[in-house]
Structure 1
Amino acid sequence: MRLLWAEADGNFRLAEFSDEKIPPYAILSHTWGADDEEVSFRDIVDGRGKNKPGYKKIRFCAQQARKDGLKFFWVDSCCIDKSSSTELSEAITSMFRWYQRATKCYAYLSDVSIPKPGINDPSSCQARKQRIKSSKWFERSWTLQELLAPTSVEFFAGEWEPLGNKRTLEKEIHDRTKITVRALRGMPLSRFSVRERLLWARGRQAKREEDKAYSLLGIFGVHMPPVYGKGWKHAFARLRKEINPPMGAQFSSHDCSRQFNTFTGTQINNTGSGNILFGSDKQVGYAKFGIDTTFVPSRSFFLGEAG
């Protein structure tokens, strides 16, 4: 795992750790701007990118981590070398585990502002809660696991003001996402049915359509290398097949298919073919079962500090 840290001169450096040597760290959850607005891995290595809008998020994460007594922090835009397809694949399959292991997760709601006259005014507090619930952060596919995996999630507004944490805002989060409070409080995801977990993800969007499926790998506790270019139906069909085998006699392939067909609104078979009716509310019968959410670690290695 590659982590960021700030030198005394304010510049950021990267350090890479094996699984056995990963130190405590904070992790950022955010919505991306345009790709050229975010600070990349190469920007950090080459010591550039300070003029990009995304640099403010890195600086904030470093400052907040320092306040929380943490030297290291992780930001997806620059801690993953996306020019390497192998590294990107390993990162996607490890993402849930990285968020789960984080000491702190900072969820940055860039489109939320704190209304005046003040944070303690009743009308102001109500308006703030409504703005939190309307944030686009709740519409992204990847932020589902970024909400559920970490024990500690702290929310911040567009100007970096603290909004609350996963516990203090659980009513607003539940109202917005329909995720049960038990899941928000850390109950193992294996205790929830496939149907319920799929409904948490319903309506969320991703820049790459296949990521609607790959963002659920950790939610279902499966390990599967991503394949792009074949569309979301193919990705969901692969995910369904990965979920089905560990269930054995508890859940039939036919029932598992019904779960996914209802979520996607399309008849997904083993080849991923079907008619696109995404978002259908057709009601069918559902079975409940448990899935072990133990994540299979991906290979990692120690290179020391990079800079």
Structure 2
Amino acid sequence: MRLINVHTLELEEFWGREPPLYAILSHTWGSEEVSFREWKDRESISHKAGYRKIRDVAQLTESFDIDYCWVDTNCIDKSSSAELSEAINSMFAWYSNALCCFVYLDDVASVDEEHSKKMRLKRRSGGYTFDALQDSRWFTRGWTLQELIAPACLVFLSKNWEIIGCLKKVSRGRDWPGVWLEHWFYMSTDQIQIIEEEIIDDISRITGIGRESLTIREDYEDQSIAVRMHWASKRKTTRVEDMAYCLLGLFKINMPLLYGEGSAAFQRLQEEIMKVSVDQSIFAWSSEPLGIEKDSGYISLMAPWPSAFTNKYIVRTKASPRAAVDSVYTLTNFGLSIQLPLLVDIRQQRYLAVLECADSRFLEPSANHVSKPERNTFYRLCIPLNKSEYDGTYSRVSPSKFPTAVRIENIPTTQRIHVPRLGRLVPSNVCSVSCETRVREGGRNYVFHMFTTPNQVISYVRPMAITNSCTFCPHCQRLIVERPTSGPDIAQICVVVAFQDRKPAGVWKRRFIFRVRIDFEKDRDSLSCDFTCCNPSFWNYVPGQILDKTRGRVELGLMAAQVRGPRGYRELPAFLGFDKADETQVERETTKMLVFEWDQESSSRIKIPGMDEEEAS
């Protein structure tokens, strides 16, 4: 750990030994921050706002009779990935161990009493207005959340470095330096207490964090995972990965940093949390505020972002009478293995997984003094699940819906269920095809995985020029094409697979035709995929985002949709080319994803090329 000597402004290192007492700065970054390397030549950066900020906080620290301070801009060598990773994993502890945390709000001005009366502003006793505090960037950044929760003592400063508030937390073995504040405020202890109460109420109102978590230092550990995630739900970070990394300390997690992994960082964070916690509120999220259901990507039972946790009332519940030790969940190479009580809806073939968490609003007496539930009655949050007919795995249904609060008199028996790590989110109007290239020693094959909606079935498979190297499995909806190992230098395989809606008689059925043609050439293979459907919207998933990771040469072309006939069906061709595998490369796998979306307003009957009217009906 590096600290700034406030008397000399020199950086001193305390690696492997206990650092002295220090103050720490919490702030939002500006455009003229100074780095660790720039700090070595302070004369050349003395004109920058970042230098003046460090100088001012050093002077403030010295006036509080503290010899050292820490600022994230120049105390971390960010050119060293190892040091940056260690610093981020240690950040929560550094803020927690600081004697005092100065919160510098560079966009909040202090207002004197006379000016506030003249402008009719609701001035707080600390000299700020609630509107100014609420609009501060400090409450919108991801990193500042832990800087609010971790420290035992916080002093809030306006942009002119005037103290406008303070926040003390009940903590073990540490006294609040009240003498300092009395000296700076020129006020009595009672007046300082009024200032403190006002800013606590304002911060709680702005952030949604309860007073207990703001005033009791260890209270955040007692909050459910969903509640802590909710605290971060409206915050942002510059880097996508930082939205996960800034929460490490809040959940007492240490994990390596992999900048470039994108949203996978938050998935890793949740997996690490599952290894040390059995708090099932981690599954109590909703994708409605994210609009995820409009996106046909992949998600699992885990949330895609902290912003999916919109309910701040979720609490952990005591284990139900039938809860067993084996109800804990584990992560395997397949995915998530968890034992949960399941409520079964036989009519709709749906399941409700009962979580060991509840909405606190259902646990307290209501305004009309209705008594609490009886002893054998439980309120639990439940999430709807679908069970696959093919492999018995479960997937979440309608993640846009909030978990349902259900009153349960008898908790059902728990069942062990398996959820793939990347569960497919299939909205009711989306189909997709995944093409997987498998290169093995001595050969190559192409595997096409057909993802359809629950109410669509295979209605037709027609080999147009097929060989014994092509097989189709109707149960798992997978087409496997193996490259011929002998024969002419150029060969061709073409297969047509048709899907239709499972609807009652007399209702028009929509069709989806997948036609694949592979030309096996001497140096490379060419893959042509044609999708024929009734009035689909154009591609709503950009394949290029996945093709970037492919080795060798890949070609992709999307032709403009062609509208044929009065019934308005469209044909969307996509062409992908795969280079012949390097002879030195023994094994390789490449996956492509092509997704399109149905136009729900259309219910026209389409004519399928190559099929007569009787087959098409």
2:316 aligns with 288
| Corresponding position: 1:44 with 2:39 | yes
Residues 264-301 of structure 1, C-alpha deviations (whole Å, 9 max, x = no match): 7757439x8x9x798457779956279xxxxxxxxxxx
Name 2:274's counterpart in structure 1.
244
> In structure 2, what is the Cα distance between the partners aligned to 1:88 and 1:191?
29
Give 1:130's aligned residue: 131
The CA deviation at 1:183 is 0.8
SS of alignment partner, residue 69 of structure 2: strand
Q: Which amino acid aligns with 1:136?
A: R
Q: What's 1:172 paired with?
A: 202
Q: What is the CA–CA distance in structure 2 between the aligned matches of 1:156 and 1:205, rounded to whole Å?
A: 22
2:70 maps to 1:74? yes
> Of 7, 21, 24, which residue of structure 1 is paired with 2:21?
24
Letter in 1 for 2:6: A
Pair 251,279 (structure 1): closer, same or farther in 2 beyond 3 Å: closer
- Map 1:53-72 to 2 at 5 A: 53-72=49-68
Residue 227 of structure 1 corresponds to which residue in structure 2? 258
Q: Structure 1 residues 284, 125: CA separation in 2 closer, same or farther (over 3 Å shift)?
A: closer
In the TM superposition, what are the counterparts of 1:176-191 in structure 2 within 5 Å? 176-185=206-215, 186-191=217-222
CA distance in 1, matches of 2:274, 2:19: 32
- The number of aligned residues is 277
AA of the residue aligned to 1:172: D
SS at 1:206 equivalent: coil
| Aligned equivalent of 1:2 | 2
Runs of 5+ in structure 1 lacking a partner?
291-307
Q: Percent identity?
A: 38
How much has 1:123 moved relative to structure 2? 3.8
The answer to whether the 8 A contact 1:194-1:259 is kept is no
Unpaired runs of at least 5, structure 2: 169-195, 293-297, 319-617
Output the CA distance in 2 between the equivalents of 1:284 and 1:62. Answer: 38
Residues 72/128 of structure 1: CA separation in 2 closer, same or farther (3 Å cut):
same
Q: Tell me which moved more, 55-64 or 236-245.
A: 55-64
Distance in 1, matches of 2:111 and 2:146, equals: 29
Counterpart of 1:302? none
- Equivalent AA in structure 1 for residue 212 of structure 2: R
1:200-211 pair list within 5 angstroms: 200-211=231-242
Shift of 1:223: 0.7
Shift of 1:188: 3.4
More helix by share: 1
Partner of 2:394: none
Q: 1:265 to 1:95 in 2, by over 3 A?
A: farther
Deviation at 1:115, TM superposition (A): 2.7
For 1:265 and 1:73, locate their aligned partners in 2 and report how far apart those are by CA, in whole Å: 43
Please tell me the residue identity of whatever aligns with 1:241. E
Shift in Å at residue 190 of structure 1? 1.6
Task: Specify the SS of the correspondent of 2:23.
Answer: strand
Superposed displacement of residue 130, structure 1: 2.4
Is the CA contact (8 Å cut-off) linking 2:39 and 2:74 kept in structure 1?
A: yes
- Secondary structure of the 1:76 match is coil
Give the TM-score normalised by the residue count of structure 2. 0.42
SS at match of 1:155: strand
Work out whether residues 259 and 286 of structure 1, in 8 Å CA contact, stay in contact via their aligned partners in 2: no
Residues 260/42 of structure 1: CA separation in 2 closer, same or farther (3 Å cut): farther
The change in CA–CA distance for 1:263 and 1:152 in structure 2 (over 3 A counts) is: farther
Shift of 1:203: 1.2
Secondary structure at the counterpart of residue 165 of structure 2 = strand
CA distances 1:187-206 after superposition (whole Å, capped 9, x unpaired): 33220001110111111011
Q: Offset at 1:251?
A: 3.8
Equivalent residue of 2:209, what SS?
Answer: coil
Greater relative contact order (CA < 8 Å, ≥ 6 in sequence): 1
Larger Rg: 2
Contact 2:226-2:312 within 8 A present in 1 as well:
no
- Residue 305 of structure 1 aligns with which residue? none
Contact 1:109 1:135 in 2 (8 A): yes
RMSD between aligned residues: 2.9
2:90 to 94, 99, 102: 94
